[in-house]
Amino acid sequence: MILDIKNIKNQNLLGDLEKMKTVLDEICKTHDFTVLQKVGHPFEPIGYTLFYLLSESHISVHTFPECNYIAFDIYTCRDYASNTVYESIHRYLVKLLDADEETPLILDRKF
């Protein structure tokens, strides 16, 4: 899922790397993703990049507080019957951030 979260009204998470780690930890726990490694890098004066390496693949977050925007990507190799897991994560993030409802781009990569 590729998700552009725009017009964020709750800006607490935009500049707080540790709070976003808590959010991603909750997402991983809820959806039974196995975290192998977490890497985060804060930028000056604001914003950060956060990457979770999962045994199922990865989650990446890039924040742009000056634009009220987060780029959120999650890729898993699980074969879900539908996109409900991704849609659930999308709704959770939009509600948490009090952001505009954007349509996520969900790619079905099969080989």
- The string of pLDDT tens digits covering residues 35-93 is 999 999 999 999 999 999 999 999 999 999 999 999 999 998 887 778 899 999 999 99
Please indicate whether residue 77 is annotated as part of the active site: yes
Check residue 89 and give its pLDDT: 94
Residue among 41, 55, 57, 88 flagged as catalytic: 57
* Secondary structure class of 20 (helix, strand, coil): helix
Residue among 62, 82, 88, 90 flagged as catalytic: 62
The structure's pTM equals 0.91
Please indicate whether residue 60 is annotated as part of the active site: no
- Dist CA 111 CA 108 (whole Å): 10
Please indicate whether residue 90 is annotated as part of the active site: no
Domain ranges of the chain: 2-97
2-97: CATH, from 3.30.365.10, 3.40.50.150, 3.30.470.20, 3.60.90.10:
3.60.90.10
pLDDT at 110 over 80: no
Residue among 77, 82, 88, 90 flagged as catalytic: 77
